[in-house]
Amino acid sequence: MLKIVKTSLSIAAASLIFCGTANASIENALANICTIVEADDKGELRKKMRAVQSDFRLKLHDYYSGITCNGQSLIRTAIQSNSVEVGTLLVKKMPSRELQNPESDGKTLQAWIAENGFQTNAIASEVQQRI
């Protein structure tokens, strides 16, 4: 009886150790998100966002500011790459108040769009509608 209890406890402890190491970190989960945005792969972005939400219980606005693609935010990258499907999805998933916040360079998304001449971009018009 004592042998069974010891064996059960050791199996339970081992499973906890393996369970902790099996979970991928958030960095690994979001590793290729820039490539997805640049490729305008809306389906893959949806899958990635769902996976991050189910695995880490994070929504887009929770990790958006922590991701940069060549020094630009995800929406700026989508605008520069003319990734309309992905950019529109990102704008719709972000809270409108956060679309008005300054980004890492101190400029708001609207100011950056105007400064770089992207006013006619479809994503820029989606940003305007959301704000």
> pLDDT by residue (tens digit) across 6-47?
444 445 444 444 444 434 587 887 888 889 989 999 999 999
The pTM of the full predicted model, rounded to 2 decimals, is 0.75
Looking at the predicted structure, is the pLDDT value of residue 5 above 50? no
Residue percentage of the chain with pLDDT more than 70: 82
Looking at the predicted structure, is the pLDDT value of residue 123 above 60? yes
Convert 17-45 to b/e letters by CB count within 10 Å (16 or more is b).
Answer: eeeeeeeeeeeebbeebbebbbebbbebb
Looking at the predicted structure, is the pLDDT value of residue 91 above 60? yes
- Phi and psi (nearest 5°) for 16? -65, -40
Select from 66, 105, 107, 74 the least CA-distant residue to 90.
74
pLDDT score for 78: 92
